[in-house]
Structure 1
């Protein structure tokens, strides 16, 4: 910007100086020209015309015109060591030749820079332009003899120290209507082409308030540090390819800069750099204004950083409405009002994407044409914050009329929103949404891993503003107005999903049309907490607006995961009951959907819930299949508050634990209660936890509770805290054979209940020291002893002590002689009869 200002001062006028390496002339004669200049002559070869200058610039208000003798390309190089400042008009007369301006030192376009030509325009700080048979070099100005063999240029050779390109302007004067459409009637382009390609290729490229416009055509911006940028001939103009580039530099759009290709048939925008930055209301726009199909917006970069807004107050809008005249920084492709063509497609392929301070990426339709797809592929995406007029976010939209009403609302359908990323963070009210505010149906929203689904993370947390002026961080697919079309499906595939502090993932309807389904597949899911906008969770709602009798049904929620945790009031809910405290929202008349969850482990704590609530219809069922399902002060419930029958709950688990006032309930207010069917191997239930299927009409309208376990349903048994009484430790011996006695087993212990089996008991062992004599008497036993008779030694309880022949004390029983097996059987039978 400084150079542009300086160039307008006396003594800083731009001059054009011919270097003499080509037979270039200027109409006024001589090698130097200032002010208005007409360039003629040059070297013609293979459909190209070459010019070479030591210095090249255009003064403010001046015009420099190249004469086209009927060639395809006019290629101009600057071989000196000064940058080019263009602050006037560059023109080509006599034909539709493409104009190339090459200066490796740098090129700056001032506020007064303009273009007037019938072909493409390339401004580049490349060090040469390549052909199949040679190169037009800017570093070796004597190498011109080979030009006689060249024809179509194939590439721009950019050096490691390529100069920068800057385009200055006064801002885009865009603003957003309340219906989310962009008003662009006040745009004043700085550099504009009506045919072909407008391209800026060099080192760092900066647009400071500048507006680049190529209605229905192509704009390419490439920031390269080293390598060859390929030139790909198209029907009109060129595309750029970057297969031969080693490293990239940065592209920056600042202070309401704009790149726009909107037209009856929208054109194409392509940006390639290391870091691409859009801030202060800067934007890329490709609007379809007619009945032809739209073009596309493509950004390829290591980082795409989009932040902030611009505020523009045109003279015809009163100051009191100034808060509506806001332009978010972002990327936009839409079918504008009155157009019937399909919308342009947005393709972003970046390493890191950041949206902050109200910045947006949006593809939509505001007419009868269908919106184009919006595809984002990134290693990481962060969407943070918002503004009173709207949140930061990524949106696929079917728009309403300009006044927000149904008359004139879009009838086209929304495009699909596809996001592939390894890390997705939505914070402080950031949103991703595929919604319809018009008569058309919303598109589907798909989020999945970019490279490896096993290493992905999606986190949705927090909110911005207050209810009525802000909103929660959310991923949303919904029908958003009473007259709107159906909502789309929302599908998420990730390794970890975290939804915290009021964040929400939602499908829903605020209309007579149905909401889409919500499908989540993740290895680990954690839902926690809430805020003023509602509880964190997975939601599908069918809500009415101002009691209009809307009967759209909510979608189904399907979850597949290894581990699911809900904490601090988090919820998974299908409902037609509003939340968040908006007084204009009332319960919808349509049925709620169903919840289906398949998991290995589910843990619900501290007021969390799985709920299916409905006024009407026969749905709102919950089905859970899990290895372990644990509820701690939480609930699983279906609740019919209108005439609907209570929904059913089916739990198929290995272990079901209900503790601390947890509830499983299938209830109804004005009809029969639902059914609770539980299949479980283990049921642990505290006395204050309940399983019910009731009706407010009375017991005769109660539902059914059916609990199936391998064993009878266990009763609550108090844990024994006192030692067993001594009386229970006394076992009566067989009265037919001996007297009563008291036996204390010591360390071996007894079971608490004498009738139980003793699982383990220590045996008596003779631990007296062995004498040498006793050792000598030990002899090996035969491995296969031969039985001699059916007699066995009698076994009886010890009755006393005696000393044997060796003087040792031994225990003796009441019987010391051999006893036959029949005698033992007789003894046993006596004990049984005595018992």
Structure 2
């Protein structure tokens, strides 16, 4: 029994000793500083304070073999007077685990470098009034060229200089931030998105939190700041430089690794005032701008409803807005996650800037700027050197993947600018700018060197793929400009600049150097949705009218659609249109193309319900309509519109019509200038044939005008005059070498044609005038006259007689030139001079 008790007591003491040793092992200073080594002092059972270290000017250096903080524990660095930077390195072989609270008892910036890695647990937190830099770099650089190294700590050279950068080793460790994820609430329409979670890593307002390492992983982790900056950089090798206020640059970084945000991870730079009485002046004195979020890596991915959020919630009109900057050298993937900036009151909205090779967005991947305030919203600028692909459909049938700017108040919406090689919007993918109030919609500028594809529909919730500028308020819609080589809109896709209220719709300009293809339709809940390029005024759904207070009577004007391309092809029920369902004007449609093909129920329309019909202007070499296709500028109660067509050839076949009709007012005008018109003609009314009309439903006296100008070709134009009597060649040509009957070849005529009908006409064969032999007297004087068939005034020109003599031979000079002669000179045959040959010499 005694032995059992002794064994039990021994085990208990050993366990207690192990636990104490493990607790102390969380923080183990090394001996690299000698008398200036770091000291760990226990404040209580859950809190330690780090004293000692080496002071050099405003820098305080610490060095540890192990640096860990356990669960529910706190570790604070003492902050002596005048210390601005606390620089801490870990020289051991293990990663640092920060599972509790890390803090500074003062206002100094804290640097923690451990090349082996840093892990922040789900309950980790920061209590730092300055900035925090956590890195798996090998050393810290200073202005005087010295390095504070974690991999070569034997003879540290400590300096009073300012830290200016980090040096990454060949295989820097990983930085991992774990957490329970964000608690973002809001619907984005009536209520903005805000995060109510209290956990995460956060620094004081106006300061920076920077994580710089190898791979960086946020698994539900949260990083927060107000009026400050969040910096994430995954650097594989090279140096990362920074300014005294910790703005990072990567000019000397050699390669990068990956950053992953998952499980509702959050980067939040929400800028708000805790004290409503704070003034704009006090804010401007403390903070340079509204804050920013900067991310740099090779591949960046956001999954699992992760968020990057920047908000400007302060009433400070002249405070510079913040920015979200994302630079992924290879790819950025946004999957079921959001990158968002929001602005309120008089603060300007923050911009979103993306630079990458490939941008992929799917399963409710969203980039958006929302403006709830009185100032202008931020812009979205995306540069993807290879491609941008936005797949709208969502597994959970949630919001479609999209790039959007939205204005909810009197402040204008932001602009969207994209530059890429290939842009794809498929299965309900969206790029759009929208206003719901008096603020104007932002402009959209799309530059895609190779192609733009807007294809297909998503689910019943996500709807069509589209490029769009939309106003549902009194603010005007923005303009949409698209520059590419090829534009394809099919299977229900849309390029749209529309209004659903009193604001005017924006205009669309498409410059496609090769071609524009508009084809087909899609179906959602048995509703056919045609592929469409349009600027229109559409009556909103009743539910939207109630929610947004949209008037039932629509009076906004439609905009202008301009297309410049080589080929425009419209087919299979697709539609190119300007339209107005209200009292406003229908707008204008202008196309300049080498060829326009409209077939199989394709349409070019400019229609209005009660306003004047729109104008259609087509300038092309060839215009073809087939299979019930139409060009129309029609109106309901208003006058019909105008259709102007300038073309070389117009062909309209199989009941394809060109019409400027009106139901309740005057018909419009159709003006056609063409060299040839085939398959169609003017008629007083539409028939089963192909028609050109400008009728009115009120009667013939209200009909419009049809003006068709065709160029008549004169069949006698530029034809040569031929003589009525042909010259007898047998009397004009002397037969040479007749005795020998050698071969001969004789052509009679003006020339200008090949010798044989089987030969090609080169265009280089000259013509000569035929001679009319006119006697000057009854006895046929030797003098003759000829009349030029090209001499229109019939003037006669005197010409002395020329004797016609047949060539008797030819001579060849030293240059190889041949000249026909009437008399062959007598020469010695073995001479190196001219060789003469006559007809007889050729006879064998």
Alignment TM class, shorter chain as reference: 0.7 to 0.9
Deviation at 1:225, TM superposition (A): 0.4
Equivalence for 1:316 = none
**Structure 2: distance between partners of 1:116 and 1:704:** 80
Residue correspondence of structure 1 range 517-532 to structure 2 within 5 A: 517-523=507-513, 524-532=515-523
Deviation at 1:412, TM superposition (A): 1.4
Equivalence for 1:273 = 297
Deviation at 1:684, TM superposition (A): 2.0
Residue correspondence of structure 1 range 800-819 to structure 2 within 5 A: none
Equivalence for 2:168 = 158
Equivalence for 1:26 = 39
> What secondary structure is seen at the aligned counterpart in 2 of 1:562?
strand
**Structure 2: distance between partners of 1:391 and 1:226:** 38
Equivalence for 1:432 = 431
**Structure 2: distance between partners of 1:346 and 1:445:** 14
Deviation at 1:616, TM superposition (A): 3.0
**Structure 1: distance between partners of 2:434 and 2:92:** 55
Equivalence for 1:509 = 499
8 Å CA contact retained: 1:189, 1:212: no
User: Which one of the candidate residues 128, 135, 138 is aligned to 1:124?
Assistant: 135
Equivalence for 2:91 = 79
Query: In structure 2, do the counterparts of structure 1 residues 301 and 542 end up closer, same or farther at CA, with 3 Å as the change threshold?
Result: same
Deviation at 1:389, TM superposition (A): 4.2
**Structure 2: distance between partners of 1:378 and 1:782:** 69
Equivalence for 1:711 = 712
1:470 aligns with 2:462: yes
User: Which one of the candidate residues 662, 666, 669 is aligned to 2:663?
Assistant: 669
User: Which one of the candidate residues 390, 404, 409 is aligned to 1:383?
Assistant: 390
Query: In structure 2, do the counterparts of structure 1 residues 228 and 778 end up closer, same or farther at CA, with 3 Å as the change threshold?
Result: closer
Deviations 1:441-460 (A, max 9, x none): 211111114xxxxx321100
Length-normalised TM-score, structure 1 = 0.77
Query: In structure 2, do the counterparts of structure 1 residues 11 and 492 end up closer, same or farther at CA, with 3 Å as the change threshold?
Result: farther
> What secondary structure is seen at the aligned counterpart in 2 of 1:671?
coil
For structure 2, the 5+ residue unaligned runs are 1-18, 273-288, 543-550, 682-688, 716-721, 723-728, 749-770, 781-844
8 Å CA contact retained: 2:42, 2:48: no
8 Å CA contact retained: 1:621, 1:638: no
Residue correspondence of structure 1 range 311-710 to structure 2 within 5 A: 329-336=337-344, 339-379=345-385, 380-387=387-394, 388-399=397-408, 410-449=409-448, 455-466=449-460, 469-480=461-472, 483-523=473-513, 524-532=515-523, 534-545=529-540, 546=542, 548-576=552-580, 587-685=581-679, 688-710=689-711
Query: In structure 2, do the counterparts of structure 1 residues 781 and 142 end up closer, same or farther at CA, with 3 Å as the change threshold?
Result: closer
Deviation at 1:563, TM superposition (A): 1.4
8 Å CA contact retained: 1:620, 1:638: no
Deviation at 1:643, TM superposition (A): 2.1
Deviation at 1:695, TM superposition (A): 1.2
**Structure 2: distance between partners of 1:565 and 1:599:** 10
**Structure 2: distance between partners of 1:686 and 1:677:** 14
Query: In structure 2, do the counterparts of structure 1 residues 34 and 352 end up closer, same or farther at CA, with 3 Å as the change threshold?
Result: farther
8 Å CA contact retained: 1:15, 1:34: no
CA RMSD of aligned residues (A): 3.3
> What secondary structure is seen at the aligned counterpart in 2 of 1:551?
coil
Query: In structure 2, do the counterparts of structure 1 residues 484 and 776 end up closer, same or farther at CA, with 3 Å as the change threshold?
Result: closer
**Structure 1: distance between partners of 2:381 and 2:195:** 28
> What secondary structure is seen at the aligned counterpart in 2 of 1:700?
helix
> What secondary structure is seen at the aligned counterpart in 2 of 1:119?
coil
8 Å CA contact retained: 1:181, 1:366: no
> What secondary structure is seen at the aligned counterpart in 1 of 2:153?
coil
Equivalence for 1:227 = 238
For structure 1, the 5+ residue unaligned runs are 1-8, 310-328, 400-409, 450-454, 577-586, 715-756, 758-763, 792-817, 819-835
**Structure 1: distance between partners of 2:653 and 2:746:** 60
**Structure 2: distance between partners of 1:788 and 1:511:** 82
Equivalence for 2:765 = none
1:103 aligns with 2:114: yes
8 Å CA contact retained: 2:633, 2:643: no
1:254 aligns with 2:244: no
User: Which one of the candidate residues 200, 203, 210 is aligned to 1:193?
Assistant: 203
Query: In structure 2, do the counterparts of structure 1 residues 190 and 78 end up closer, same or farther at CA, with 3 Å as the change threshold?
Result: same
**Structure 2: distance between partners of 1:677 and 1:788:** 50
Deviations 1:697-752 (A, max 9, x none): 222221111111111899xxxxxxxxxxxxxxxxxxxxxxxxxxxxxxxxxxxxxx
8 Å CA contact retained: 1:46, 1:152: no
8 Å CA contact retained: 1:132, 1:153: yes
User: Which one of the candidate residues 66, 69, 84 is aligned to 1:58?
Assistant: 69
1:295 aligns with 2:302: no
1:263 aligns with 2:271: yes
**Structure 2: distance between partners of 1:445 and 1:12:** 60
Deviation at 1:183, TM superposition (A): 3.0
User: Which one of the candidate residues 144, 158, 169 is aligned to 2:179?
Assistant: 169
**Structure 1: distance between partners of 2:257 and 2:185:** 30
Deviation at 1:782, TM superposition (A): 15
**Structure 2: distance between partners of 1:61 and 1:506:** 56
> What secondary structure is seen at the aligned counterpart in 1 of 2:701?
helix
Deviation at 1:11, TM superposition (A): 9.4
Deviation at 1:485, TM superposition (A): 2.0
Query: In structure 2, do the counterparts of structure 1 residues 116 and 620 end up closer, same or farther at CA, with 3 Å as the change threshold?
Result: same
Equivalenced residue count is 679
Deviations 1:200-258 (A, max 9, x none): 00000011101100111111000000010001223xxx111000011100011101100
**Structure 2: distance between partners of 1:639 and 1:559:** 17
> What secondary structure is seen at the aligned counterpart in 1 of 2:69?
coil
> What secondary structure is seen at the aligned counterpart in 1 of 2:376?
coil
**Structure 2: distance between partners of 1:473 and 1:61:** 50
**Structure 1: distance between partners of 2:213 and 2:712:** 77
Deviations 1:642-684 (A, max 9, x none): 3211001000112212122211111110111111100112222
